[in-house]
């Protein structure tokens, strides 16, 4: 997993909780990296699992809720760091449709060794898309937070239905309908 995900996670923890909480979860997680991350480095996904688990233990917040909140945080950071992608779409569904075919292509140019989830996207009408998330990392709660953050960026309301297709979180179907859409 790319280091930027770790650095952003720790930044979110510091913003929402405190630097002391960051230090505590890093210490308790007993990470091989020692919790020292660079944005361009690559680290085991298990370290993220340990950090989120320790944050859950420290705060009492469930892991899925923390991953969802992190997804929203990441989307805010992406809108700031990559405004071109957001300017090229006029609405949330338009941006979400382009994740696999445009955004992930550009990410791979910057980070050729990045292991990204895949998103199969099907437009089912002007106000509905279906995105099928696939990743052995099982971070669909993070993906759901990114979707919600995207809606907030465009000032839209999206209804998101989620179905686990694999039974273990590796494949999840998101049916996303613009509020008021059919």
Instruction: Report the C-alpha gap between 87 and 133 in whole angstroms.
Output: 24
Which one of 61, 81, 104 terminates a domain? 61
| The pair of three-digit structure tokens given for residue 58, joined into one six-digit string | 């420290």
86 and 152 share a domain? yes
In the predicted structure, residue 181 carries a pLDDT above the cut 80 = no
Instruction: Report the C-alpha gap between 81 and 100 in whole angstroms.
Output: 18
Q: What number of other Cβ atoms are within 10 A of residue 74's Cβ? A: 20
pLDDT band at 112 (very low <50, low <70, confident <90, very high): confident
pLDDT in tens, 119-175: 999 999 999 999 999 999 999 999 999 999 999 999 999 999 999 999 999 999 999
In the predicted structure, residue 6 carries a pLDDT above the cut 90 = yes
37 and 80 share a domain? no
pTM for this entry: 0.93
72 and 90 share a domain? yes
Which one of 61, 91, 111 terminates a domain? 61
Backbone phi and psi for residue 115, each to the nearest 5 degrees, phi listed first: -105, 95
164 and 105 share a domain? yes
Q: Are 153 and 78 in contact (CB under 8 A)?
A: no
pLDDT in tens, 16-61: 999 999 999 999 999 999 999 998 899 999 999 999 999 999 999 9
Instruction: Report the C-alpha gap between 105 and 98 in whole angstroms.
Output: 10
pLDDT at residue number 169: 92
Tell which residue, 156, 115, 135, 132, has the closest CA to residue 67.
135
Quick one: how far is CA 149 from the chain centroid?
A: 9
Structural domain harbouring 115 = 67-178
Instruction: Report the C-alpha gap between 121 and 132 in whole angstroms.
Output: 7
pLDDT band at 180 (very low <50, low <70, confident <90, very high): low
What is the length of the chain? 182
Mean per-residue pLDDT, 95-108: 90
């Amino acid at each position: 997993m790319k280091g930027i995900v770790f650095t952003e996670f720790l930044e979110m923890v510091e913003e929402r909780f405190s630097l002391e909480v960051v230090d505590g979860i890093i210490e308790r997680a007993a990470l091989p990296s020692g919790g020292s991350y660079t944005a361009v480095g690559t680290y085991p996904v298990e370290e993220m699992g340990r950090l989120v688990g320790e944050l859950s233990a420290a705060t009492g917040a469930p892991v899925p809720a923390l991953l969802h909140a992190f997804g929203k945080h990441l989307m805010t950071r992406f809108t700031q760091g990559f405004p071109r992608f957001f300017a090229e779409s006029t609405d949330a569904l338009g941006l979400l449709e382009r994740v696999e075919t445009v955004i992930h292509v550009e990410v791979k140019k910057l980070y050729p060794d990045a292991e990204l989830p895949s998103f199969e996207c099907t437009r089912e009408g002007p106000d509905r898309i279906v995105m099928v998330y696939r990743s052995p990392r099982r971070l669909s709660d993070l993906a759901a937070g990114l979707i919600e953050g995207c809606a907030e960026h465009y000032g839209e309301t999206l209804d998101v239905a989620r179905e686990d297709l694999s039974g273990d979180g590796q494949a999840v179907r998101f049916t996303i309908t613009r509020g008021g859409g059919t």
